């Protein structure tokens, strides 16, 4: 079966730095995939290649088998890929409901868009914020507003870059529940480095290290893997396909 | 962006325009009426930048380029086709096409905001230098001599559509200018109310997020920039009908002045730039009559004072004060 999103030998180099190095990844329909790794592992650069922010140096990105390498962000979004950035990227001067309407109105008329926007806000538990101006919101609320904007057009796949960044323990717990719920309707790729959060959403995990995929397995096996412990502790390890550590 | 319907503002614009057309030609002397026509053309010019900068988030230092192209386009076309009915669409198409071309290069070339300011200003100054150097009989387009520093003083005024033998008197030219101003204001309101306008405002708020939602921001920026060019050209056409076209229309003075009108009137509003243009133009005209006073100096002082005392501009500050008063009156 064709993967929803896949990469083939994807590379992103900055001069001599190989931020992403020959990464092969396939995300199936309805899957919840976590990309983890210590700081500098290349997961955020890989994410930016997927979202069109960076044009890969080499390799291919495919959406349902179609080559989308180097496509612009807006074209990638139009395919049915929702993108949530690490630092909430919002329309500061607009109200919450206006933002969500804008997020989905490519497909719906005004009245329908407003009704759908309110339904999305209710689903995320922030309907009470609908009339508030985005700039006035607290960080946790801003994260949820951005998520509402991402979910609003009903994308097939949602890419989340560190969705719990800056959240309290309680908010992180709620986010995990929310992500599991979102996974009932959308495939998700979550870039994260909070292991507790990864455990809470329990999925297939791809571990990045030095721009490459170190291991890809279930969360339980990944967490039991001594190599993963080593890279998180900053120990040098031998990468597959390379000589020495 | 608000959920409020713009009907009240549109109705107010229509009423004000009708009142101005009915009253001012009766009470103003000819010179004052011509001055009022100049103010109306300046207001259209300010409105054009107010739309591009205040709502599109594009700081265009070269709105004067479209103003000048509209003026020159009209003058050249009117001198070549005796009937100004055909000169008008030409005069509007030239600046709109120039804005579309310039915008395409800037937005599709992913030029950053700072360079956009530099490029728009440079283009304007190139046009200023070029038109300044067109003295001599060899510089003519058909029957229209470009006239170098002196410009084209013999620009024919608008005539009744299809009736070249019937040029409009200054009272009618004033009415046309006021109708154009009201029409531009209403058009701006409707555009901002439309889906296109909402996306433009969203792009001003966060270009990256708009892209991530699937909007091709280049297309929207190009659209609002071209509309601004069109309106700037219309202002030039009106100006050509009450003064005359000359390289000054492309000058740094005009380029800077438009920005000051918008800032003083209120960025992010449509009525603010109109108010700013009329008030400051009146102030400049008055200052020009004073002995030993440079109007530019006064304009600069007003800008500094406005930035310090009213950073949001006249209209937003007045609206906020009115809201505070209403709240105080409503409080028990």
Q: Residue B197: its pLDDT value, please?
A: 94
Contact A102 B217 (CB under 8 A): no
Helix, strand or coil, per DSSP, at residue A111? helix
Q: Nearest CA to B242 among B25, B71, B38?
A: B38
Structure tokens at B290: 């004073």
- Closest partner residue to A78 (CB to CB) among B1, B199, B214 is B214
Average pLDDT over residues B123-144: 93
Would residue B234 count as lying in a domain? yes
Please give the Cα distance from A199 to A179 (Å, whole number).
Answer: 12
pLDDT at A244 over 80: no
Least confident segment among A167-181, B47-61, B114-128, B240-254: A167-181
- B326 at A interface, C-beta within 8 A: no
How many Cα neighbours within 13 Å face the side chain of B160? Answer: 4
Q: Residue A200: its pLDDT value, please?
A: 87
End-to-end CA distance of chain A: 35
Contact A149 B201 (CB under 8 A): no
Rounded to the nearest 10 degrees, what angle do helices B295-309 and B252-265 cross at?
30
- Work out the minimum CA distance from B317 to partner chain A, whole angstroms: 17
- Closest partner residue to A74 (CB to CB) among B1, B202, B214 is B214
pLDDT at B7 over 90: no
Average pLDDT over residues A34-61: 92
- Band of residue A242 on the pLDDT scale cut at 50, 70, 90: low
CA distances from B81 to A54, A127, B85, B282 (A): 53, 61, 9, 34
- Band of residue A243 on the pLDDT scale cut at 50, 70, 90: very low
Least confident segment among A224-238, B84-98, B197-211, B244-258: A224-238
Q: Residue A190: its pLDDT value, please?
A: 93
Give chain A's mean pLDDT. Answer: 88
pLDDT at A215 over 60: yes
Average pLDDT over residues B64-89: 94
- Work out the minimum CA distance from B214 to partner chain A, whole angstroms: 4
Q: In chain B, what percentage of residues exceed pLDDT 90?
A: 71
- Band of residue B288 on the pLDDT scale cut at 50, 70, 90: confident
Tally the domains of chain B: 1
Average pLDDT over residues A48-74: 94
Q: Residue A236: its pLDDT value, please?
A: 63
Q: In chain B, what percentage of residues exceed pLDDT 70?
A: 98
Q: Domain locations in chain A?
A: 1-80+157-245, 87-154
Chain B interface, best mutation among A47, A71, A82, A91, by max B CB count within 10 A: A91
Backbone angles phi, psi at B220, to 5 degrees: -70, -40
Tens digit of each residue's pLDDT (9 = 90 or more) over A112-127:
888 989 999 998 889 9
ipTM field? 0.89
Q: Is residue A179 within 8 Å of A190, Cβ to Cβ?
A: yes
Contact A92 B209 (CB under 8 A): no
Chain B interface, best mutation among A47, A50, A53, A94, by max B CB count within 10 A: A94
**A1-80+157-245 is classed in which CATH architecture?**
3-Layer(aba) Sandwich (3.40)
- Band of residue A106 on the pLDDT scale cut at 50, 70, 90: low
Q: Residue B3: its pLDDT value, please?
A: 46
Helix, strand or coil, per DSSP, at residue B4? coil
Find chain B residues with C-beta within 8 A of A83's C-beta: 212
Q: Is residue A217 within 8 Å of A205, Cβ to Cβ?
A: yes
Bridge-partner residues for A189, per DSSP?
A33, A159
Structure tokens at B187: 């058009």
Q: Residue B249: its pLDDT value, please?
A: 95
- Work out the minimum CA distance from B232 to partner chain A, whole angstroms: 27
Please give the Cα distance from A68 to B120 (Å, whole number).
Answer: 34
Give chain B's mean pLDDT. Answer: 92
Residue A137 DSSP symbol = S
CA distances from B297 to A3, A57, B122, B286 (A): 67, 55, 24, 13
Q: Which of A2-6, A201-205, B120-124 has the highest mean pLDDT?
A: B120-124
* Cα nearest neighbour of B202 on chain A: A91
Would residue B97 count as lying in a domain? yes
- Work out the minimum CA distance from B11 to partner chain A, whole angstroms: 24
CA distances from A140 to A144, A147, A165, B284 (A): 7, 11, 9, 51
Q: What torsion, rounded to 10 degrees, do the Cα atoms A58, A63, A65, A69 define?
A: -20
- Band of residue A245 on the pLDDT scale cut at 50, 70, 90: very low
The interface residues of chain B toward chain A in range 166-205, judged by CB-CB distance below 8 A, are 195, 198-199, 201-202, 205
Average pLDDT over residues A68-83: 94
Q: Which structural domain, as residue segments, surrounds residue B106?
A: 7-257
Q: Residue A68: its pLDDT value, please?
A: 96
pLDDT at B114 over 70: yes
Alpha-helix residue ranges (DSSP H) falling in A23-80: 43-50, 73-78
- Band of residue B2 on the pLDDT scale cut at 50, 70, 90: very low
- Band of residue A105 on the pLDDT scale cut at 50, 70, 90: low
Please give the Cα distance from A114 to A109 (Å, whole number).
Answer: 9
- Band of residue A238 on the pLDDT scale cut at 50, 70, 90: low
Backbone angles phi, psi at A65, to 5 degrees: 90, -15
Q: Is residue B100 within 8 Å of B42, Cβ to Cβ?
A: no
Find chain A residues with C-beta within 8 A of B199's C-beta: 102
Contact B206 A83 (CB under 8 A): no
Would residue B99 count as lying in a domain? yes
Q: Residue A241: its pLDDT value, please?
A: 55
CB burial of residue B5 (10 Å; 0-12, 13-18, 19+)? exposed
- Work out the minimum CA distance from B207 to partner chain A, whole angstroms: 9
Chain A interface, best mutation among B214, B222, B268, by max A CB count within 10 A: B214
Q: Is residue B19 within 8 Å of B192, Cβ to Cβ?
A: no
CB burial of residue A66 (10 Å; 0-12, 13-18, 19+)? exposed
């Amino acid at each position: 079966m064709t993967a929803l999103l896949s990469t083939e030998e994807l590379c992103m180099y900055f001069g001599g730095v190989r931020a992403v190095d020959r990464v092969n990844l396939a995300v199936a329909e309805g899957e919840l995939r976590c990309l983890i790794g210590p700081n500098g592992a290349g997961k955020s650069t890989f994410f930016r290649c997927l979202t069109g922010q960076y044009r890969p140096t080499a390799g291919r990105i495919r959406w349902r088998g179609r080559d989308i390498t180097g496509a612009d962000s807006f074209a990638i979004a139009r395919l049915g890929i929702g993108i949530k950035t690490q630092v909430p990227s919002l329309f500061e001067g607009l109200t919450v409901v206006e933002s969500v309407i804008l997020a989905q109105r490519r497909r719906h008329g005004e009245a329908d868009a407003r009704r759908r926007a309110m339904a999305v806000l209710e689903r995320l538990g922030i309907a009470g914020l609908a009339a508030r101006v985005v700039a006035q919101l607290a960080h946790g609320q801003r994260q949820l507003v951005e998520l509402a904007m991402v979910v609003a057009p009903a994308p097939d796949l949602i890419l989340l870059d560190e969705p719990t960044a800056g959240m309290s323990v309680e908010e992180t717990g709620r986010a995990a529940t929310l992500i599991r719920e979102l996974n009932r309707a959308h495939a998700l790729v979550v870039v994260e480095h909070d292991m507790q959060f990864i455990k809470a959403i329990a999925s297939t995990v791809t571990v990045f290290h030095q721009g490459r995929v170190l291991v890809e397995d279930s969360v339980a096996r990944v967490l039991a893997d001594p190599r993963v412990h080593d890279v998180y502790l900053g120990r040098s390890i031998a990468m597959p396909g390379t000589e020495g550590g | 962006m608000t959920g409020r319907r713009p009907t009240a503002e549109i109705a107010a614009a229509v009423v004000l325009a009708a009142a101005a057309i009915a009253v001012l030609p009766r009470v103003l002397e000819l010179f004052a009426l011509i001055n009022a026509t100049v103010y109306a053309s300046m207001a259209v010019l300010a409105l054009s930048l107010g739309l591009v900068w205040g709502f599109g988030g594009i700081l265009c230092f070269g709105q004067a380029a479209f103003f000048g192209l509209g003026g020159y386009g009209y003058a050249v076309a009117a001198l070549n086709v005796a009937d100004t009915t055909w000169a008008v669409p030409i005069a509007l198409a030239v600046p709109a096409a120039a804005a579309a071309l310039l915008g395409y290069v800037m937005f599709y070339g992913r030029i950053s905001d700072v360079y956009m300011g530099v490029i728009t200003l440079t283009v304007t100054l190139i046009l200023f230098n070029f038109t300044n150097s067109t003295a001599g009989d060899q510089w003519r387009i058909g029957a229209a001599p470009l006239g170098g520093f002196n410009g084209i003083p013999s620009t024919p005024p608008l005539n009744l559509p299809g009736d070249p033998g019937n040029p409009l008197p200054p009272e009618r030219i004033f009415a046309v200018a006021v109708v154009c101003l009201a029409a531009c204001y209403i058009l701006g309101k409707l555009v901002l109310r439309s889906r296109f306008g909402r996306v433009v405002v969203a792009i001003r708020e966060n270009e990256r997020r708009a892209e991530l939602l699937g909007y091709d921001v280049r297309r929207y920026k190009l659209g609002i920039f071209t509309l601004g060019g069109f309106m700037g050209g219309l202002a030039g056409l009106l100006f050509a009908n009450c003064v005359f076209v000359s390289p000054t229309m492309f000058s740094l003075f005009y380029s800077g002045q438009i920005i000051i009108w918008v800032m003083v009137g209120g960025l992010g509003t449509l009525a603010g730039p109109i108010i700013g243009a009329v008030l400051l133009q009146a102030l400049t005209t008055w200052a020009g009559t004073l002995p030993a006073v440079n109007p530019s100096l006064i304009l600069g002082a007003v800008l500094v004072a406005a930035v310090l005392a009213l950073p949001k501009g006249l209209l937003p500050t007045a609206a906020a004060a009115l809201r505070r008063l209403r709240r105080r009156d409503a409080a028990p």
